Chains A and B, each alone.
Chain A
Amino acid sequence: MMEEEEAEECPPLSPVSVVEGTEEEVTPPRALSVSPGTVRVTEAAQDGELLTFIIVSQKLSGTGEYHVDRTYEDFDWLQQHLFSLEDVPGIQGIIFPPLPARAQPNAPGKLVRQLGLLATGGTWTPYCRALEAYLQQVAGHSLLSRTQHLETFLTSPEPPGRQKVKRGLFNRLSQAVEGIRKDGHTEDVDDFFRTEREHNLSLTGLSRAAAERFLEVVQTEQKIAVACGHFAASLQLCVEAGDDPGQETFSKMCVKISEIMESMKKNVQKVAENDVTTLGLGLDLECRYQEAEKEMLFRRTCKLVELETASRNAERAKPLKKAAMDEIKKAAEKDFDQVSVVAKQEVARFQRARVAVLRQALVRWCELQILTATGSAEQWNQQLLAFRGPEPSS
């Protein structure tokens, strides 16, 4: 079910809404009372340093909506809880939906550095869209959506607890294996994952580069819009009430050129807006998700290292310790297998979803380009006709 009805709005970029009929039909035990594809971050209200988001979602039962207000702390709270979920076997194999970076509202200079494409356009809209996508991705994830935390986040009138969250198992683990990172251990037992890791490595870099280059394009477009505005304003200053016909004609000319420049400014602004809301969001999501996959693959590699260490220990163990070591090894094996199973599913799901997201971004971008350019061409045409003036032979 593609949300294509809102022609002008940017449709959500969640894999849930674009991928039709996935295997997530399994009813989770503690079902989310909200329909995942309907989660919307409708606005962002800024009060000094505080940025509050309004989140609206439709009840599954179809009997109404939930309206809640949340801050970035709440999002962070949710994400941290997801990382530290218990009773989810193979949780390390999950590609966690990436949460966009925190935005510092009163530092516009820093904002672009922090958020990249999400900070362009002078409104919070792109940022809201990205947060929205995050929520939909979590809500649409069969394993992650079961958590009570998500339900609380989306439906509770009170903001979830703002206390500092205990850093989860996942995080402890990733800290512990920092040393392994330096080891450069990249051998994998599974061809599927070996290929996927290589792939992910190149795509992470390339998609980040593409997003950054696209950001530069958008920023230059905005500069052009500003220059057009300057030109239009300066021309207005040239207009003088003069007596003689020569002066009058010239003044009329200045007014005309000023109008043309205003039109051009609006056109370029629209182009930049189109860029951000379609391909911009798409590239941004792609590069953040590639990073998330990288994290997951790394965690799995760590498990592999753990397993290999445990195996070695079990082999070398003295008879007294052997049984214990064997137990550890078995546990590590089970853990690793579980993680690999989940990881494989996640990777397959991810590959389908990202293609769908990019497809939608590209198609929508293309359509908007054509739409904007058609409108612009019509405008120039009108201007040209008006310029010819009331000539008898026309």
Chain B
Amino acid sequence: MNPPPFPDTAEQEPVFSDMGDGDSDEGEDIFLGSSKTGAESPSVPQLNIKAETTDLFAEQASSTAPTVGLGTGGSSNGVQSDDDNDLFSDAHVELPTENASSSTPSGPRPAATFIPGTADMQTKSMEQLEEEEAKDTFDVDVAVTNPEKVGDGMHAFMAYRVSTKSTLPVFRNKEFSVKRRFSDFLGLYEKLSIKQSLQGCIIPSPPEKSVVGMTKVKVGKDDSSSVEFVERRRAALERYLQRIVAHSVLLQDPDVREFLERDELPRAVNTQALSGAGFLKMINKASDAVNKMTIKMNESDTWFEDKFQEVENEEQQLRKLHIVVDSLVNHRKELCGNTAVFAKSMAMLGNSEDNTALSRALSQLAEVEDKMEQLHHDQATSDFFILAELLADYVRLLGTVRGCFGQRMRAWQRWQEAQSTLQRKREAEAKLLWANKPDKLQQAKEDITEWESRVTQYERDFDRISVTVRKEVLQFEKEKAKDFKFQIYKYLETMLQSQQRLIKFWEAFLPEAKAIA
């Protein structure tokens, strides 16, 4: 008797009907199904999203190019409204840009939105860039949005909405979202590290814990610094997830899928090791192993040695750059403050001025300077979120890369140790033969067999991890170049936008100045 077919499998690809136990590495590549996206979508209703949700990813950048949240503009805070329509509705280029200069809506969106006129050329190319990116990546988009404070007092925490859009059949739905808290992200990282780093994978690292930052949030401080903290964390979590799903191996990991899909996750508890300091310690321990290695292995080691050196150097350089950019960000914030104070002093001058036209002009000037303050603030934000965070991310990522080299080193050591153990066992056997103790001889022979197979296993492991690390590093470098290129492009756009806003402000003021008599 044929059992009735599962309603799902009748419409889905049969390959994925048993995805529940798809933990083995030898399973089918889940991307086999991606070419058959023409298949009907499952009849299972979309459970996790409100009925009126618009396409969350209308103009979402591709997953390899992290979207930058340029929020915290003006008086709006980083905490999103629940109205999903706001998220990306501005992202489409054709929206009127008249109110671009007066308000900066919160929420992540490409800087492309605000450029009038000549911008169409740039934004189209931005889309082209994104399309090209998309071809290289897998069809998964993730976004982290809507930070919401849950609970009160010191037990409060921020919950973030993780939204995924994918046509990959491995997921139950095309679009779905779940709520996750920060420790969930850390928990995911821990699980991945344990499993994957042994293979030499470069696992993107989550943002660091921050006791100070979170305490402010818990206590309920609603000032700009805690708003900035939340926005910074949200953006970092988003980049973290985007890097994970851009990684072919990690995307296949069931823990990742569970993280994205499952409604309730068990609380991750062992995340102490993942504080900023703990993370660094872990990395340094691993890469110390590389530095202590004195015996040259074989030719291909030159590649690994050179590459390791490169990575270390680059990490140092990026650290230095990060410090410089930090100082730039601080100066811009200072300029914000100075501009605001100057605006007030001009307003007061205007109030005391007898000459009507001059008085009006000075008051107008004060208003323009207020707008300039906003402009400087936006520039500082973009300096920070585009440049500073980019550098900070890569300092951490390069640390992770160093860690991978360390893992390879450990695999090599294990192999070498096994070889010495084997040698010892053989010597022991020889001694026993000479001493003529047949009963112990059997044990010795068994030992030798065991260790022989271990040596073979460890050698294979080492070869495999070497291959993986090499592949990972090359892929990482490619991604890094693309990432930097994309971010610089974004930065240029914000600068252009900034100048254009500035021109508008002053062109509006000029007639007022000329009217002074």
Contact = CB atoms under 8 A, between A and B. Distances in A.
Interface string B330-367: 01101100110110111011001111001001000100
A160 B353 CA distance: 41
Given A207-B349, A223-B331, A216 B338 contact: yes
A46 B259 CA distance: 70
A31 B516 CA distance: 33
Interface in B314-336: 314, 317-318, 320-321, 324-325, 327-328, 331-332, 334-335
Given A355-B355, A362-B513, A388-B125, A373 B499 contact: yes
Contacts of A367: 510
Interface in A356-394: 358-359, 362-363, 365-367, 369-370, 373-374, 376-377, 380-381, 383-384, 387-388, 391, 393-394
A210 interface: yes
A366 B506 contact: yes
B492 A234 contact: no
Interface string B500-512: 1011001101100
Contacts of A394: 125, 128
A250 B327 CA distance: 23
A238 B314 CA distance: 7
B277 interface: no
A342 to B, nearest CB: 21
A358 B321 CA distance: 42
Contacts of A227: 324, 327-328, 331
Given A234-B320, A238-B321, A355-B516, A246 B478 contact: yes
Contact of A376 (B314, B338, B499, B507): B499
Contacts of A363: 510, 513-514, 516
Contact of B342 (A217, A355, A391, A393): A217
A224 B331 contact: yes
Nearest to B303: A244
Contacts of A234: 317, 320-321, 324
A202 interface: yes
Contacts of B128: 388, 391, 393-394
Contacts of A388: 125, 128-129
Interface stretch (A117-125, A172-180, A252-260): A252-260
Contacts of B118: 381
Interface in B474-490: 474, 477-478, 480-481, 484-485, 488-489
Contacts of A369: 502, 506
Contacts of B345: 206, 209-210, 213
B338 to A, nearest CB: 5
A257 B488 contact: yes
Contacts of B503: 370, 373-374, 377
Nearest to A286: B349
A377 B324 contact: no
A237 interface: yes
A213 B338 contact: yes
A250 B480 contact: yes
B389 interface: no
Given A210-B346, A359-B516, A373 B502 contact: yes
B517 interface: yes
Contacts of A366: 506, 509-510, 513
Given A234-B320, A373-B506, A217 B339 contact: yes
Given A231-B325, A362-B365, A381-B118, A216 B342 contact: yes
A158 B506 CA distance: 47
Contacts of B95: none
A376 B348 CA distance: 32
B516 A380 contact: no
Interface residues of B, number: 62
B349 A206 contact: yes
B477 A223 contact: no
A156 interface: no
A247 interface: yes
Which secondary structure characterizes the binding site on chain B?
Answer: helix
A253 B352 contact: no
A388 B485 CA distance: 10
B332 A264 contact: no
Interface in A200-251: 202-203, 206-207, 209-210, 213-214, 216-217, 220-221, 223-224, 227-228, 230-231, 234-235, 237-238, 240, 242, 244, 246-247, 249-250
A238 B317 contact: yes
A110 interface: no
B125 A253 contact: no
Nearest to B326: A227
Nearest to B510: A366
Contact of B348 (A206, A250, A383): A206
Nearest to A257: B488
A196 to B, nearest CB: 10
B122 interface: yes
A199 interface: yes
Contacts of B354: 199, 351
Contacts of B321: 231, 234-235, 238
B90 interface: no
Contacts of A256: 488
B310 interface: yes
Task: Choose among A210, A235, A393 the residue with the greatest number of B CB atoms under 10 Å from its CB.
Answer: A210
B331 A220 contact: yes
B516 A231 contact: no
B493 interface: yes
B481 A253 contact: yes
Interface string A302-313: 000000000000
B282 interface: no
B134 interface: no
A387 B489 contact: yes
B495 interface: yes
A1 B348 CA distance: 32
Contacts of A240: 310, 313
Interface string B33-62: 000000000000000000000000000000
Contacts of B338: 213, 216-217, 220
B223 to A, nearest CB: 22
B342 A214 contact: yes
Contacts of B100: none
Nearest to A261: B328
Nearest to A362: B513
B19 interface: no
Nearest to A229: B324
Contacts of A231: 321, 324-325, 328
Contact of A228 (B328, B365, B474): B328
Interface in B384-430: none
Contacts of B478: 246, 249
A384 B331 contact: no
Interface of A: 199, 202-203, 206-207, 209-210, 213-214, 216-217, 220-221, 223-224, 227-228, 230-231, 234-235, 237-238, 240, 242, 244, 246-247, 249-250, 253, 256-257, 260, 264, 351, 355, 358-359, 362-363, 365-367, 369-370, 373-374, 376-377, 380-381, 383-384, 387-388, 391, 393-394
Across the A-B interface, give the 6 residue pairs with the lowest CB-CB distance, nearest first.
A246-B477, A249-B481, A377-B499, A359-B516, A380-B496, A362-B513
Given A362-B361, A362-B365, A373-B499, 12 more contacts: A199-B352, A213-B341, A213-B342, A223-B334, A224-B332, A230-B324, A234-B320, A234-B321, A246-B480, A351-B354, A366-B513, A377-B500
